[in-house]
Amino acid sequence: MKGNMRTAMVQGVNLTPQLLQSIRLLQLTAPQLEQELRQALERNPLLEQDEAAEEAEADEAPEAAMLEAAAWDELPEPAFLSGGSIGGGDDDATLRIADGESSDPRLRLLRLLSLHWDARDLDIAAWWLDRCDDRGYLEQPLDELLAAARAAFPTRADDVGVLRQRLLHGDWPGMAAADPGECLRAQLHALPEDATRGLALRLLAEHLDLLAAHDHAAMAAATGAGADAVRAALGMILGLRPHPVQAPVADDHGHVVPDVVAWRGGGAWRVALNRRGAPQLRIAAHCERALAGSDHAALRGLLDEARWLVRGVAMRNDTLLRTAQVLVERQRDFLDQGPEAILPLTLREVADAIGVHESTVSRIVSGKYIQTPRGTFELKRLFAVRLEGAQIAGTAVKAMVRRLIDAEPAAAPLADDVIAGLLARQGVRIARRTVAKYRDQLAIGPARARQRLAPRQARQEYV
From 393, 381, 460, select the one nearest 430 (Cα to Cα): 393
Spell out the residues 6+ positions from residue 185 whose beta carbon is closer than 8 angstroms to its own: 201, 204, 205
What span, in angstroms and rounded, lies between the C-alpha atoms of 153 and 330?
Answer: 44
If you average pLDDT over every residue of the chain, what do you get?
75
Express as a percent the part of the chain with pLDDT over 90: 8
**pLDDT of 250 above 90:** no
203, containing H or E segment = helix 195-206
Confidence at 325, pLDDT banded by 50, 70, 90: very high
Confidence at 74, pLDDT banded by 50, 70, 90: very low
Q: For residue 237, what pLDDT is reported?
A: 84
> Where on the phi/psi map is residue 60: left (φ > 0), alpha (ψ -120 to 50), or beta?
beta
Mean pLDDT within 88-103 = 46
Write the pLDDT tens digit of every residue in 292-321.
766 667 777 788 888 888 888 888 889 999
**pLDDT of 80 above 80:** no
Q: Report how far Cα 290 is from the mean position of its chain's Cα atoms.
A: 50
Confidence at 29, pLDDT banded by 50, 70, 90: confident
Q: For residue 459, what pLDDT is reported?
A: 38
What span, in angstroms and rounded, lies between the C-alpha atoms of 79 and 362?
Answer: 12
Contact 376, 370 (CB under 8 A): yes
Annotated domain spans of the chain: 17-74+257-384, 105-238, 394-462
Which range in 144-158, 256-270, 288-302, 398-412 is most confidently predicted, on average pLDDT?
A: 144-158
More confident residue, 167 or 443: 167
Domain 394-462: what homologous superfamily? Homeodomain-like (1.10.10.60)
> In terms of residues, how long is the chain?
463
Q: For residue 8, what pLDDT is reported?
A: 57
**pLDDT of 408 above 70:** yes
Q: For residue 254, what pLDDT is reported?
A: 54
Mean pLDDT within 158-179 = 89
Confidence at 224, pLDDT banded by 50, 70, 90: confident
Q: For residue 399, what pLDDT is reported?
A: 76
From 147, 157, 182, 148, select the one nearest 167 (Cα to Cα): 182
**pLDDT of 11 above 90:** no
Q: For residue 91, what pLDDT is reported?
A: 43
Q: For residue 322, what pLDDT is reported?
A: 93
Write the pLDDT tens digit of every residue in 179-189.
888 888 888 88
**pLDDT of 369 above 60:** yes
Confidence at 230, pLDDT banded by 50, 70, 90: confident
Summarize the chain as % helix, strand, coil (round to 5).
55, 5, 40
**pLDDT of 137 above 80:** yes
Confidence at 326, pLDDT banded by 50, 70, 90: very high
Mean pLDDT within 414-419 = 81
Express as a percent the part of the chain with pLDDT over 70: 75
Mean pLDDT within 420-439 = 77
Pairing of strands 260-265, 369-372: parallel
Q: For residue 5, what pLDDT is reported?
A: 64
**pLDDT of 63 above 70:** no
Q: For residue 455, what pLDDT is reported?
A: 44
More confident residue, 20 or 324: 324
What span, in angstroms and rounded, lies between the C-alpha atoms of 364 and 26?
Answer: 6
